[in-house]
Chain A
Amino acid sequence: MASSWVYAARRLLLAVPLLLGMSVLIFGLMRLVPGDPALAVLGYKATPEGVRALRETFHLDEPIARQYVRWLAGAVHGDLGIDYRQNEPIGRMILDRLPITLELTVLATLAAALIGIPLGLLGGGRRGGAADRAALVLGLVGISIPDFWLGIMLILGIPLGLGVLPSGGFVPLGEGVLDNLQHLVLPALTLAISRAAVLGRLTRAAVLDVVQRGFVQFARAKGLGERAVLVRHVLPNAAIPIVTVLGLQAGYMLGGAIVVEMIFTLPGVGRMTLDAVLERNYPVVQSTVLVIGAMFMLVNLLTDILYGLIDPRVRRR
């Protein structure tokens, strides 16, 4: 057990320089925007006084390195500055919207696992059969569907066509669990389908890989039933790559949430990012991209650590 803690600690330490690199990249990128950022943020409302006030608030007259350190020091303490358009602390705005994005991602990950893993088992368990071929085609189509189009088709077919489920908007979990879930079913499905397809394809490949191994043939040879072989010998071994890919997919859904939140008008962090990009509100873009990027990294890190916990071979490398 001790070695897995060492492994986890090492992975955590490696995350620090990566996170620093990400912050440098985002900060540098936003400074590449042509023109005066103060003018870009204020847009048509810019007055000389306004621009001067903004330059002072964001310390735009200081050397870039100092601006960066100031921003980073603030970010570490949860202070991401003020959004000039809404006159609200950016950190507060992100905290208000984060639960929506997280709930969407968690639900979509669950849905992807519930659809993808059985699909892969069905295919991998009976290779070459009708179920396998159907699962293969579904998987190939699934990874090729643009999720934003799937969302539009779902809205067209279900809320607009059948008149059930809302086509957009959000009700917080605290104001009614059922209402909340009704608003998230379609967005979560939209996000989940292509990820489920990836997971299904991987589960099938993992099962086929394990089935060929000697210990599975031995289990069969000693007279164990197919079901027992699958549950006791194949699944635990196939679980390692499946868990890894599920973790990676959960991370990617944080990015996919930007598109899905836009289609279903969910007020999450993805939506906030997109609005800020379209309004050229760079202080907000810089903060939300850092937060989503950091969460993506955190999910990948947790997946790595989990991988090390369930597969002792990884730790020894």
Chain B
Amino acid sequence: MRQRGPGAQPAGSASPYLYRVSPQAAFFAFVRKTLTIVEMEVRKLRHDVTELLTRAVQPALWLLVFGEVLASTRAIPSGNLSYEAFIAPGILAQSVLFIAIFYGIAIIWERDLGLAHKLLVTPTPRSALVLGKGLAAGIRGLTQGVIIYLLAALLGVSMNWDPWALLGVIALIVLGASLFATFSLIIASIVKTRERFMGHRPAPGYALLLCQQRHIPNFHNAGLVTGYRPDESLELRGRRVAGADASGRSEYLWPGSGLRGLDHCGVWAANAGGTVVPKCRDITETRKNTRKPGCHE
């Protein structure tokens, strides 16, 4: 904020608009503007509730349709938990990541519409704009979290209602969504156009794919990632998944270190989701312990 009046310190230029800004004032202006960007998003959500409902379709399908079907067929072992209870944290992590990544990418459309230019011409620090966008993605993620909690409760999934656990989930959702939204913003600011983005879309998709290990137990060992063969049909791969627990293959689809960071993000996000149903953490631990030597985390 510019200081005016007796407290103002002219910077020694002829311009009457040159004022020094104290670090404290700059910090408060930064916080205020970051929250303004978040508020803009909250207001948009308030006006368009249908968006929240349409975004709930994907997790609802997973939980209510696929979850029910896979649970009844018992095709996928989930220990002493119901399949719905097993996948609920993964669905939460996946949904939040989806929202965050695509929210970040939407900056390309905002740029095409002129809204991004208009924001960039305001005296708002670039960092406040980016942080505001990240936190706004967190708000969107929270709405998704509420929906998934409701659906999970509807299905009778046992959940931990301890206020500290809930606060932890909220913090993780906001943090995770902010991180992935800003990651997505970086990609968007590099590719700049929608056409180029289509070529880079698999990048955030990798992170989402890795989160799928929450949906399917022993994902690494099952062969979806290990021993991937591009010429293999989905059906064949599915069959291999069904009987691959004992296959013992340890080759990794991405053996180098290039994508290891994303892999970690995926595992982190899945574990973040695990906070919802603490029992699932046991399965995570079991799975970690049963992994073959040489596999990457």
Q: Do A and B come from one complex?
A: no
Chain A residues near B (Cβ < 8 Å):
none
Residues of B that sit less than 8 Å from A by CB = none
